[in-house]
Amino acid sequence: MNYLVTGGSGFIGSHLIEQLLKNGHSVINIDNFDDFYDYKIKIRNTLESIGNYSDFEFSDKTSDLAHLSSITQSSNYKLYTEDIRDKNTLKKIFENHPIDLIIHLAALAGVRPSIERPLEYEEVNIKGTMNLWELCKEFNIRKFINASSSSVYGNNDKIPFAETDNVDRPISPYAATKRCVEVLGHVYHNLYNIDSIHLRFFTVYGPRQRPDLAIYKFTKLITEEKEVPFYGDGNTSRDYTYINDIIDGIIKSIIYLENNSDLYEIINLGESEVVSLNEMLSSLEATLKKSAIKKNLPMQPGDVLKTNADITKARTLIGYKPATNFQNGIKKFVEWFLRNDIQ
């Protein structure tokens, strides 16, 4: 099969492409290497995902991306460093390649930055996605998987969070854009028969995790014996989901989407195991055998108090079965971090 993956040089995307290539498929990766974090990390992700990681000689971003593009093109893998907001450039990619299914992972991420730059989040996350759907319509592509987020649930009173819960009260622009895309997905399904699955990811972690996310950030600060910003009283909690389980859920969603028609589905992908901020920090300290220097701070605007996935639908519909508990996942992440941190 021929898959187009947006955001394929990021954390989740690079793992997904690695698995798709191992499964014998062809992949087009569209990633604009946004400055949200160091582009060198995405270069490493890209090379690792295609099994071609070696000592890459870095100079400046423009030269490095040109070099990356030149050394990664193959018969079953193509990299395009384009922006999903540019529909005309995207159209050229669609014109030049057969595409069976799109897995759309690209987005401006992060709750707190979205409060500072809401219009940019709207432009990338909503308009960028609509550009892809418009091209699906034009090029007769009828299968689409979209990465949504547990943030759409906001401060939901009902635990665990189920796909049937009301999600009309997001508490950050990021969450609102993710919910908007889910709704628009139904529009394109209804009007143009584009079958879609919207996967609500719950706090994904593991090797290649973004350095701005809590587990990576805390690990780095603890190892460097620097202050760890600790927001609130430590009782906020997350349903942390190990990257391998997320990839398994995406692959199973692809198979389900390919084998069925007239689909519009929203599916939670979580671990269904809730871990508090206090517990997360303690697990890192125990694994690293080092104590954190905590800097207590007030809760941040836009942060939800708790996430907890009801994964009944995922288990029933696609056969999703998470296999990595939090303690084992943390050990695997720390092992990777100690070998690979380049920040």
* Catalytic residue IDs: 174
Contacts for 3 with CB less than 8 Å, ≥ 6 apart:
20, 25, 26, 27, 28, 99, 100, 101, 102, 103, 254
Q: What is the distance between the alpha carbons of residues 156 and 253, in angstroms, rounded to a whole number?
A: 26
Q: Are 81 and 10 in contact (CB under 8 A)?
A: no
Decide if 10 contacts 45 (C-beta within 8 A).
Answer: yes
The tokens describing 39, both together, are: 């582009």
Residue closest to 260 by CA, chosen among 145, 162, 163: 145
Contacts of 230 (CB under 8 A, 6+ apart): 277, 281, 294, 295, 296, 297
Give yes or no for a contact between 94 and 46, defined as CB atoms under 8 angstroms apart.
no
A 10 A CB-CB count for 92 gives 12
Which residues make Cβ contacts (< 8 Å) with residue 267, sequence separation at least 6?
A: 163, 197, 198, 199, 200, 249, 253, 313, 314, 317, 318, 320
